[in-house]
Structure 1
Amino acid sequence: MLPDLRLLLALLAWLGILSAVRAAPDVLLISSDDTAPYQELMGAFRSSLTKRLEKTEIVTLSRLQATDMLTRQPPRLIVTLGVTATEAMLQNSYRGMHLAVLVPRSTYEKMLAGKTPAEIRNRSAIYLDQPFDRFLTLARLTIPKLERVAVLSSLDTMTQRKTFSSNPRSGVSIAVEPVMNERDLMPSMQRILSDAQALLAIPDNKVYTPRTAELVILTAFRRRVPIIGFSSTFTRAGALCSIYSTPSQIGQQAGEIAGRVLASKTNLPPPQYPQYYSVNVNDQVARALDIDIDPIPLLMDRLRQELGEE
């Protein structure tokens, strides 16, 4: 081989390596789906992050595409959206920083069960669900003279039962009824709603499916027991009100965390609940149950004040 040709090939190889190094992104987004909520979250994430770090490079790939990039050009931070992408990432040998979003707390903790400290180091999450205290405080602010609330819980969320304990100062007692399967649902509701002034519908995909949610809402309404739900869909279906985080709100929080981590080169914070959230109210249900609720802006202000978030 001629010396000039060898030099040219070496130069091209060096340039290729350099290009690959430079091509490694700061953040790799891996989504479980490409539907509107995921797109909304990714848009909010990009906007939130680039406000803090203008020159940050963000790449979005499918799970299959990401596997190849992790081998060749590992990013500084991976953000997985949804359960499927998060589960796949936790099975990967990648040991860099990994932030999971749109994953319920019980699901995320189950994914981490049995893993070694080395396997879960540098991993964190923004849970999809809200802290229980927000549900309870919203119930207290919307239902007059509240003293007794009910919670339906499968084995998945029963592991978080200690989080259902009420602050004695709230003056509200909490009854938790286990639901082992769909056949248990109606007997469980009959037992627990007989003495409850409200049902707190915490996220639990073993209890609340599209089919059972309608049954729960109708049964509670007939007994005049208002429901505090966990999504805008739940409110539209007949809950008195709901508390939840939109994809944009979770995307904003994820972008803020990514910005701090990338700018300061610190570790990810521990798993956490959403910082930003929304409330909506079903006025028709409120009128039917003779419940007078504050306008949403005032209700949100009172909620934040009660929770010490202002």
Structure 2
Amino acid sequence: MRPTLLLPTVLLAWLTASGWALATPDVLIVSSEDSPPYQELIQTFSTQLAGRVDQLEISVQSQQQLSDSLSKQPPRLLLTLGVSATEQAIQSNQRVPHLAVLVPRLTYEKLLSSKPATDLRNRSAIYLDQPLDRFLGLARLVVPNLERVAILSSMDPAPPRKPLASALKNPPALVVELIESERDIVPTMQRVLPGTQALLAIPDNKVYTPHTAELVILTAYRQRVPIIGFSSTFTRAGALCSVYSTPSQIGQQAAEIASKVLSGRAVLPAPQYPQHYTISVNDRVARALGMEIKPAPILLERLHQELGEN
């Protein structure tokens, strides 16, 4: 394979902003923010894709440039990171193959709810959240005699349970509570958590904000109910453990999809959950709750076995 020169993200963005005319890009990347996790995903995606596709042209641009770029120099593939950039791309109505990442499933489905079926063929996503069976499988590994778990949701009072039937035997009872506003969180938790052995924190931009996440953690702790979170940040803040995909893992999966699309070997697949994931644990919270918890690598191996992923 012929070596490909991959310009650093910052240089690509500077060249574009400065008016230097780059060739029509194979991949246009637009990010909702410039935080380290987003940068990590872009770097992993670019490096992995460059190793798979010859003579690759990647452009990283701001959201302000998106509409103009799509109309004047539409790429062969558009990659958006986060909700804001994804929403703007969907609203642009440009029929460029579009792969979204770092977007919760419920949010992505809501953004596409008004689009015709013909428009969905050029769109796909790697969801931010994990499939429900991973949360339930992890909860069962860390909580003895798990019978009942709760979920707080702003949009979906009945998440699909179909994946559970094929992955888990005798899954615990699932209680899903609709949260319409921030003031509903504490009273809902106080009503639901008694008799519940775990709270599954599913990514939801309206339920879990920096402020409300603290409320959820404190309320669950007072009820002595462990939280299964969706990020390493959630674990550090007070969840017993979390299951999530790192930016590098999602970047790798996105590169695998992009390489097939750009080489003409496949069209965009249906929206999907992350293939690769990891686990983090909070030993301090486990001790405070009087629980024993295995190290994260052991839990990850056992979860793979539980779900038949080995």
Shared topology, TM-score over 0.5? yes
Deviation at 1:71? Answer: 2.4
- Asked if the contact 2:235–2:282 (Cα under 8 Å) also holds between the matched residues in 1, the reply is yes
Q: For residues 67 and 231 of structure 1, do their structure 2 counterparts lie closer, same or farther at Cα, with a shift above 3 Å needed? A: same
Matches within 5 A, 1:102-181: 102-154=102-154, 156-158=155-157, 160-163=158-161, 167=165, 169-181=169-181
Task: Give me the whole-angstrom Cα distance separating, in 1, the residues matched to 2:217 and 2:162.
Answer: 21
Aligned twin of 1:239: 239
SS in 1 for 2:263: helix
- Asked if the contact 2:279–2:297 (Cα under 8 Å) also holds between the matched residues in 1, the reply is no
CA displacement 1:201-227 (0-9 Å, x = unmatched): 111222222222112111211221111
- Asked if the contact 2:136–2:171 (Cα under 8 Å) also holds between the matched residues in 1, the reply is no
SS in 2 for 1:125: strand
Deviation at 1:174? Answer: 1.4
User: Which has the larger helix fraction?
Assistant: 1
Deviation at 1:166? Answer: 5.4
Q: For residues 218 and 267 of structure 1, do their structure 2 counterparts lie closer, same or farther at Cα, with a shift above 3 Å needed? A: same
Task: Give me the whole-angstrom Cα distance separating, in 1, the residues matched to 2:83 and 2:171.
Answer: 36
CA displacement 1:157-214 (0-9 Å, x = unmatched): 32x5234995472341112222222222222111111110111111122222222211
Deviation at 1:24? Answer: 1.4
Q: For residues 252 and 171 of structure 1, do their structure 2 counterparts lie closer, same or farther at Cα, with a shift above 3 Å needed? A: closer
**Residue 182 of structure 2 is aligned to residue 185 of structure 1:** no
- Asked if the contact 2:66–2:89 (Cα under 8 Å) also holds between the matched residues in 1, the reply is no
Percent of aligned pairs sharing the same letter: 60
Matches within 5 A, 1:245-264: 245-264=245-264
CA displacement 1:35-71 (0-9 Å, x = unmatched): 2121111001011111212421111111222333322
TM-score, normalising length from structure 1?
Answer: 0.88
Deviation at 1:93? Answer: 3.2
Aligned twin of 2:308: 308
Matches within 5 A, 1:34-113: 34-113=34-113
Tell me which amino acid in the other structure corresponds to 2:178.
P
Tell me which amino acid in the other structure corresponds to 2:159.
R
- Asked if the contact 1:166–1:172 (Cα under 8 Å) also holds between the matched residues in 2, the reply is no
Instruction: Specify every segment of 5 or more residues in structure 2 that has no aligned partner in the other structure, as ranges.
Output: 1-20
Tell me which amino acid in the other structure corresponds to 1:162.
P
Q: For residues 104 and 171 of structure 1, do their structure 2 counterparts lie closer, same or farther at Cα, with a shift above 3 Å needed? A: closer
SS in 2 for 1:23: coil
Q: For residues 224 and 165 of structure 1, do their structure 2 counterparts lie closer, same or farther at Cα, with a shift above 3 Å needed? A: farther
277-286 or 49-58, which moves further after superposition?
Answer: 49-58
Task: Give me the whole-angstrom Cα distance separating, in 2, the residues matched to 1:229 and 1:164.
Answer: 22
218-227 or 130-139, which moves further after superposition?
Answer: 218-227
Deviation at 1:92? Answer: 1.5
How many residues get paired? 289
CA displacement 1:94-128 (0-9 Å, x = unmatched): 21211011111111111111111232221101111
- Asked if the contact 1:124–1:271 (Cα under 8 Å) also holds between the matched residues in 2, the reply is yes
TM-score, normalising length from structure 2?
Answer: 0.88
Instruction: Specify every segment of 5 or more residues in structure 1 that has no aligned partner in the other structure, as ranges.
Output: 1-20
Tell me which amino acid in the other structure corresponds to 2:308.
G
Q: For residues 29 and 22 of structure 1, do their structure 2 counterparts lie closer, same or farther at Cα, with a shift above 3 Å needed? A: closer
262-271 or 165-174, which moves further after superposition?
Answer: 165-174
Aligned twin of 1:7: none
SS in 1 for 2:156: helix
- Asked if the contact 2:30–2:62 (Cα under 8 Å) also holds between the matched residues in 1, the reply is yes
- Asked if the contact 1:165–1:174 (Cα under 8 Å) also holds between the matched residues in 2, the reply is no
SS in 1 for 2:151: strand
Task: Give me the whole-angstrom Cα distance separating, in 1, the residues matched to 2:85 and 2:225.
Answer: 38
